[in-house]
Amino acid sequence: MALAGVCMALLCCGPVLASCRHVTFFPSVLTVPAGGSATFFCNISMENDSGLQYSLNWYKETHYSQAQKIAGISRNNRQTKTEKYLLTNHAPSFKIEILNLHQNDSGSYYCGLIDFSESVKVLESNRCQLVVTAAPEKLNATDEPEMEEGNPPDHIKAVLLGILLLAGMVVLLIFGYLTVTYRKGEVQKPPSENTPAKEEKPPVVSVSTVDYGVLEFQRGQHSPVHPEARLADQTEYATIVFPEEKPVTPERGKRHQDERIRQLQSQPC
């Protein structure tokens, strides 16, 4: 046991015992879902680091425990960023962030201190495990489970049934209102409007007719008078003849006049 302690002291301390240091990497196990980021810390413990030149590297163990360098930062740099890693120098503490995790990022990680003081030395830290789980499923509007055709949920059926009932009630109310309004209009109509209108005959306009007679002035024709009352031969008589039934047209008047003249001529004077 004493020999083992001496060996550890020799490994830890330099030949001139200028300083004694070790590197710690934590957390030991980190579980993060895919798409997120993982943060690890690497602490350097030493008695005196003044004038010490070093850098810090991070490694990932691949198959068969082979180490692969993934990032590194020197003592004089405050921050280094790549597409996948963000390194920050808070000496003696260093932080590494692994961004945009994928499931293939799972594995064993550790950090290594590279000392350039006298001869190049590599001091490795303990190993830590990173476990990247599957990303949680997000329920978006497009990710909702599809409904089977012809089998909608019960609440949709209830809503449709309510809409149908409401529409039926509205139709019945409108029909009842129209019926009542029509009946009121029939009752308020006067009897003349309820009975069919009779065809009105056009008014009879009386036409007055005028029957024109023939005023005949005849010379030499007179009714017999007493010889004593007879005047001179220059006396003229006028006879007004009115037709009994039909109006006298010019032709009938002429014919009637001819007959009258023959009658007068046949009478003795």
How many angstroms separate the CA atoms of 249 and 256, rounded?
Answer: 10
Which of 254, 257, 32 minimizes the C-alpha distance to 134? Answer: 32
Could you list the pLDDT tens digit for every one of the 269 residues in the chain? 343 443 444 444 444 334 567 899 999 999 999 999 999 999 998 766 666 788 999 999 987 778 899 999 998 899 999 999 999 999 889 999 999 999 999 999 999 998 887 676 789 999 999 999 998 877 555 555 555 555 667 888 899 999 999 999 999 999 999 998 888 877 666 655 555 555 666 666 565 555 555 555 555 555 555 555 555 555 666 666 655 555 656 777 777 788 888 877 776 65
Q: Which pLDDT score, from 0 to 100, does residue 62 have?
A: 83
Are the C-beta atoms of residues 43 and 56 closer than 8 Å to each other? no
How many angstroms separate the CA atoms of 179 and 173, rounded?
Answer: 10
Are the C-beta atoms of residues 100 and 37 closer than 8 Å to each other? yes
- The predicted-structure confidence for 157-201, as pLDDT tens digits, reads as follows 899 999 999 999 999 999 999 998 888 877 666 655 555 555 666
Please write down the HEC assignment for all residues of the chain: CHHHHHHHHHHHECCCCCCECEEEEECCEEEEECCCCEEEEEEEECCCCCCCCEEEEEEEECHHHCEEEEEEEECCCCEEECCCEEEEEECCEEEEEECCCCHHHCEEEEEEEEECCCCCEEEECCCEEEEEECCCCCCCCCCCCCCCCCCCCHHHHHHHHHHHHHHHHHHHHHHHHHHHHHHHHHHHCCHHHHCCCCCCCCCCCCCCCCCCCEEEEECCCCCCCCHHHCCCCCCCEEEEECCCCCCCCHHHHHHHHHHHHHHHHHCCC
Q: Which residues pair with 69 in a beta bridge?
A: 59
* Six-digit token string for 49: 């680091």
* 228: phi then psi, degrees, rounded to nearest 5: -75, -35
* Mean predicted lDDT score pLDDT of the chain: 76
Q: How many CA atoms, within 13 angstroms, populate the side-chain half-sphere of residue 26?
A: 6
Q: Model-level pTM greater than 0.85?
A: no
- With vertex at residue 156, the alpha carbon angle to CA 159 and CA 140, rounded to the nearest 5 degrees, is 130
Q: Are strands 128-133 and 29-33 parallel, antiparallel or unpaired?
A: parallel
Q: Which pLDDT score, from 0 to 100, does residue 96 have?
A: 96
How many angstroms separate the CA atoms of 125 and 26, rounded?
Answer: 9
Q: Domain map of the chain by residue range?
A: 12-133, 214-223+232-266
Q: Which residues contact 261 (CB under 8 A, 6 or more apart)?
A: 218, 221
Within 10 angstroms of residue 36's Cβ, the number of other Cβ atoms is 13
Are the C-beta atoms of residues 21 and 113 closer than 8 Å to each other? yes
Four-residue CA torsion sign, 57, 60, 62, 64 = positive
CATH class of 12-133: mainly beta
